[in-house]
Amino acid sequence: MAKLSLSDLREIRVREERNLKKRDIHGRSVHVVVAMGTSGINAGAKLTLNALADEVEKKGLENVIITQTGSAAPNPEPVVEVYTPNEGLVVYGSVDKDTAVRIVDEHLAGGKVLEDKRIELKEGE
Amino acid sequence: MGFKNYILVCGGTGCESSRSDQIYHSLIDEAQAQGVADQVQVIKTGCFGFCEQGPIVKILPEDSFYVQVKPEDARELIAEHVIKGREVTRLLYNKAPRKAYEEVEDIKFYQKQLRIVLRNCGSIDPENIDEYIAADGYKALEKVLFEMTPDDVINELKTAGLRGRGGAGFPTWMKWNFTKQAEGDEKYVVCNADEGDPGAYMDRSTLEGDPHSVLEAMTICGHTIGAHHGYIYIRAEYPLAIHRLEVAMKQAREYGLLGKDILGSGFDYDIEIRLGAGAFVCGEETALLQSIEGHRGMPQPRPPFPAVKGLWGKPTVINNVETWANVAQIINKGGAWFASIGTADSHGTKVFALTGKICNSGLVEVPMGTTLREIVYDIGGGIAHGKRFKAVQTGGPSGGVITEENLDTPIDFGGLQKIGSMMGSGGMIVMDEDDCIVDVAKFYLNFTVDESCGKCAPCRIGGKSLCNILEKITQGKGEPGDIDQIQQIAHAMRVGSLCALGQTAPNPVLSSLRYFPKEYEAHIQDKKCPSGKCKKLISYEINPSKCIGCTACSRKCPVGAISGEVKKPHKINGNVCIKCGVCKETCKFGAIEIH
């Protein structure tokens, strides 16, 4: 390894900070939960999850937490729940890869709910 | 694609001794086997502090805090949490999954803590210099090398009001300034990592969890005072800390953060490790320097102080690990920021190793001024097994006991001294009603007698004499003049001993005498030990009205001292009984009593 100059050190810091920040979850206000029960995975939730994660990374959104849940989801799957401080809780159905990208771009980054993909929860769901 | 989950596994000595290293490897293997190796990053970190509940595994981004994890749990953590997204409830600290979107509230153990020294412990991989750099590591060094003058650095420390965390609380800036002003072109920087108080492990955990924070601070000091060599004096019984230091030093050298022409600044500096053999007295600075030089670790008269005439007769700054770990943060965030934390007398935070009869034993870092009550009850969760609080020993074998009446004293250097104890390096041992105060004082005294180097008479002879008196008292042979004699010997040791080891050795006895005079009297006059600890002063008896004659105790008694017919009250033969207490533990009916 070469000895570092001042600018080398700063470069490493910027590069590595990005990685370390991903582990810092304090103050992240946007939660995205992907329903990953057996039926969800069967419907392609895994691809949805990957697409969401990739797009969030690509867009450099630092206040987003993506998690999964194993519990049963309403139809049509794959189901993604998005919680933002402004729009509150929004549930999307039939979220394929393209829709996942749209959710990140339009809802998370743009603050605009995708009305065409929104599903309403029935009592108890 | 980035990782979706980050698994932090505690790699401190405490958790490693409960197989956290195996947990780490099992998690990696399981992630591989279950096909999600590209989705999770497993990171071994430093100590989380919550040692009572170790081994600790934290999974992000859910912030799931798993406790008492076993290597066998790795499969389930990967299959359930990582793949299915379901928290493994039985391993969670609070045993209940968090509701989605809920603000993550710190568990009670962490709520009153403020982590400056331990800022990176439990969050970064101590064996990866890049992670330290990402967490603002070596930023302070940059500043010191390229933007600040040595006087600026000393002024910043002065504004911060950082005082030595090794116990004495001497202002750090003054040490640095004296050494800087001392004449001579050869100067040294020394890190005192010879942590020796019984029950204390703050320095070990800091070095294990964030070794670069100490290396960076020592380099900053070298540049400030004009030294090119540093030494870390650490005891050989800290192998993991030594290993992490060696890894850190190697990586720092590869990056040119140690060695010649650091970051192109023209400044040369390197650090060596010196292993100590674990003698308590080597934590005393002049003895430590002797030991580094290859001599027997014996304290030297001061003055001259190390700042003037230290290692190899050259001006030397010697600071404790925790002191070093504060330095880079002070340079980064400013002395005023540091001074805003804590009390007027003591700024910043203090790390304590909370142990003894407490629910949550572990490593805690609190702002100065936090009360003992907050540490014992809010962070520590109170006394274990529903027993009554008796006292806390701070300052280890040089400190004293603090009782219920002083629990609300804000902890800082001055406050603890006022109530007859001292800050010390940070050991905090909690005692409950079952602990005999004379016995505890005897324990600490035995420790200092063992660890005395024997050079000066007050410590060598005084300590032994005190020990003999206490032994006599716990044997039931105490006499009326004993207390006076203790006071006299203690005074002679305080005034006449060469170093702090001897000067402070009588403290545990004196402070326990001050707060528990009745307990000493009970031993001396009534030949009784109120807490039932001193074997010579107690006898086990069976209460016939409670004994149902189940024979459980007589079967467990290792010396066959218990006899009696089935279903009839039993009896203990006091001549045979060795007072081991097994019968009392065995009896389900509380029939066995101590008299």
Tell me whether the CATH fold assigned to B5-100 matches the one assigned to B129-338. Answer: no
Please state the pTM of the whole predicted model.
0.90
What pLDDT score was predicted for residue B69?
96
**Contact call for residues B162 and B330 (beta carbons, < 8 A):** yes
Nearest CB among A4, A13, A89 relative to B256 is that of: A4
Residue B173 binned pLDDT confidence (cut-offs 50, 70, 90): very high
Span B481-520, pLDDT tens digits: 999 999 999 999 999 999 889 999 999 999 999 999 999 9
Q: Does A52 touch chain B (CB under 8 A)?
A: no
How many C-beta atoms surround the C-beta of residue A89 within 10 A?
13
Nearest CB among A66, A69, A70 relative to B61 is that of: A66
Indicate left, alpha or beta for A32 from its phi (over 0: left) and psi (-120 to 50: alpha): beta
Greatest CA separation for chain A:
63
Chain B hits for A28, Cβ within 8 Å = 61
Query: Is A14 within the bounds of a domain?
Result: no
Chain B hits for A1, Cβ within 8 Å = 254-255
Domains of chain A: total: 1
Can you give the residue ranges of every domain in chain B? 5-100, 129-338, 349-432, 437-524, 539-594
Tell which residue, B239, B513, B486, B244, has the closest CA to residue B391.
B513
Q: Does A87 touch chain B (CB under 8 A)?
A: no
Query: Is A6 within the bounds of a domain?
Result: no
Q: Could you give the CA distance from residue B480 to residue B134 in angstroms, rounded to a whole number?
A: 65
Query: Is A50 within the bounds of a domain?
Result: yes
For residue B28 the two structure tokens come to 């990696």
A124 pLDDT more than 60: no
Is B100's CB within 8 Å of A81's CB?
yes
Q: Which residues in B357-462 belong to E strands, given as ranges?
A: 362-367, 389-394, 400-403, 427-432
CATH number at residue A49: 3.40.30.10
A23, A36, A62, A71, best to mutate vs chain B, most B CBs in 10 Å: A23
A1, A3, A8, best to mutate vs chain B, most B CBs in 10 Å: A3
Question: Identity (one letter) of the amino acid at B125?
Answer: D
Q: Which residues pair with B403 in a beta bridge?
A: B391
Q: Could you give the CA distance from residue B9 to residue B372 in angstroms, rounded to a whole number?
A: 30
Q: Could you give the CA distance from residue B358 to residue B141 in angstroms, rounded to a whole number?
A: 40
Write down the ipTM of this complex: 0.83
Q: Give B547 or A39, the one with higher predicted confidence.
A: B547
Span B112-121, pLDDT tens digits: 999 999 999 9
Query: With respect to CATH, is domain B5-100 assigned 1.10.580.10?
Result: no
Residue A98 C-alpha, separation from nearest chain B C-alpha, in angstroms: 17
What pLDDT score was predicted for residue B176?
97
Q: Which CATH number fits domain B437-524: 3.40.50.920, 3.30.9.10, 3.40.309.10, 1.20.1440.230?
A: 1.20.1440.230
Nearest CB among A4, A49, A69 relative to B255 is that of: A4
Query: Is A20 within the bounds of a domain?
Result: no
Count of all residues that appear for chain B in the document = 595
B355 pLDDT more than 60: yes
What pLDDT score was predicted for residue B61?
85
Average pLDDT, whole number, for chain B? Answer: 93
B133, B141, B143, B216, best to mutate vs chain A, most A CBs in 10 Å: B133
Return the CATH fold of B349-432. Ubiquitin-like (UB roll) (3.10.20)
Is A19's CB within 8 Å of B255's CB?
no
Is B134's CB within 8 Å of A19's CB?
yes
Return the CATH fold of B539-594. Alpha-Beta Plaits (3.30.70)
Chain A hits for B256, Cβ within 8 Å = 2-4
Chain B hits for A16, Cβ within 8 Å = 130-131, 133-134
What Cα–Cα distance (Å) separates residue B187 from each residue in B264, B269, B313?
A: 22, 11, 9
A:B CB pairs within 8 Å: 94
A1 pLDDT more than 80: no
Residue B103 binned pLDDT confidence (cut-offs 50, 70, 90): low
Nearest CB among B62, B137, B263 relative to A5 is that of: B263
Nearest CB among B83, B259, B263 relative to A6 is that of: B263
Per CATH, the number for B129-338 is 3.40.50.11540
Task: Provide the residue range defining the domain that includes A33.
Answer: 26-117
